[in-house]
Amino acid sequence: MSVPQRNANLESNGIVTYVAGWTLGGGTSVNNMVFNRGSPYDYDGWANITNDDSWKYSNMLEYLKKSENYQGNFPSDQHGYDGPIPVSQPRYAPGLENWLEAGRSLGHAITTPNGPQKMGFMPREFSKRFGRRVSAYAGYIRPFLRTRRNLRVIAKSEVRRILFEGNRAVGVRYITNTTEGGQVSNIAKARKEIIISAGVIESPLLLMRSGVGPREVLNEAQIPIVKELPVGKGIHDHVVLGLTFVINNKSLVFDPDRDLNPETLRIYNAFGDGPYSTSGGYVGQAMLASTVAQNEGNPAWADYMLYPIQSASAPAIFPPAEGIAMADWETPVFCGVAAVRPKSRGTLTLNATNVDGDPVIDFNFLSHPQDIQVLLEGIQTALKIYEETPAYKRLEARLAPIEMPACDNLEYRSEEFWRCFIRQRGNSFLHAVGTCRMGRGQSDPDAVVDSRFRVIGIDGLRVADASIIPNVVNANTHAPLYGIAEKASDIILRDWEDRPGGSSSPSTFKKTHRRRTWA
């Protein structure tokens, strides 16, 4: 959980809960499986930040395609067809046609989330095969566990420290939980180098606990400094909130109580289709540019996302729908509004009194006024879609009443009301990045790793995960991270092929001691 935010999620005392995937496959094993790469401008921006053209979209495309086994409705040379991760649109997508029709009536293009045109209304694509999740573990690791000599997975384990000899990383200390309830502490020594991929929260924590981080943080925690770097600074995330509407057609939503039954389970088991194949009613999205983007000269670089949720049950960021007055033939539907090129930046640091405990996270959400403006325009567009387009007028769509005591002194639905609403409800989209920021190397005061994933000033240590992303993509981070991982593996392979004795060989493991706790 975060420290109380001053400008976001105030309805919950400003506390933001951040959920991560502590399992094989990480976030890909627990997320909504939404697969969209983001804008080419995102990657071109990374190239500019790192002064490395290999990060441009035109060069990253080969890596983004490499993971894909595309099975969707928009085949083109923008997609890969031989990768381990299947990508497609679900056949079961209630309400999608209404969403796309509304986009057309407002003059927007109907496009794909993973093609060259990233602006407009589109169906969502997911990393599924026959309606079932395919995680990074299922696609990349499990098929090779018994055949790769240089692959070993140690489950129920957590790396606690990186071990150094001078400025070189030589190994890690990790603990493994035992069936008896105790813990075994081990050391794994690296023959070549160590690659940290613990995620946006755990990778910076691991670096700081091991002596790599801001001087003031390490001194306060009484951790000997190995290398002073701005670890944990610059964390940021998409900010999301939700609107609830009511429509007059229950057939256009996924209703678990109605739709999950023996017959639909039979259809799912036989064909991977039907209600059991849904990702919670997530069927489409729109990528649009606010006046903020337009005034900055980026009218084709979307800075907000709208996405309909065709479900009778409220998702986590929405208030419960049970209290809404509705006729028997009516149903709630939901629309997410997200600022996807946020300017606000925060910090992640150690708890100096318990360095192995939870971190201190301040997302600093909505501290930049332009983030609030973007969300305001997103809300206004959502209202136009549901209240003014023929597709939703036929459904007699209406905004469900909003109970917001903190905003009661403001005129309902006025601009100031919505700004108040944004601060009350704005929350994390669980797409945080930037805690081990990638940059130009030694000359970049904000960089932790260089453009080849190497931790600056440390030999034998790289970071390859969401933490290196300097500016978040304007999309879910799922698909971009596969591209980043493919690029990282290519760079590491090339670096070692260029050195004497560069053939792959397994790390060595040495068990040191057993006890129930370790610090």
Annotated binding site for FAD: 31-34, 159
Q: What are phi and psi of 290, to 5 degrees?
A: -85, 175
| Nearest-angstrom CA–CA distance, 161 and 375 | 40
Q: Which amino acid is at 415?
A: E
Query: Directed axis angle between helix 369-388 and helix 415-425, to 10°?
Result: 110
Task: Find the length of the chain.
Answer: 519
24 residue type, one letter: L
What SS3 class is residue 63? helix
Nearest CA to 120 out of 131, 111, 129 is that of 111
Q: How far apart are the first and last CA of the chain?
A: 22
> Vertex 198, ends 195 and 201: CA angle to 5°?
135
Instruction: Report d(CA 83, CA 134) in Å as an integer.
Output: 12
Calpha distance 305→76 (Å, rounded): 24
Specify binding-site residues. Answer: 31-34, 159
As a three-state string, the secondary structure of 410-435 is CCCCCHHHHHHHHHHHCEECCCCECC
Residue with tokens 């384990």: 157
The answer to whether the CB of 80 falls within 8 A of the CB of 66 is yes
Give the C-alpha separation, 298 to 91, whole Å.
34
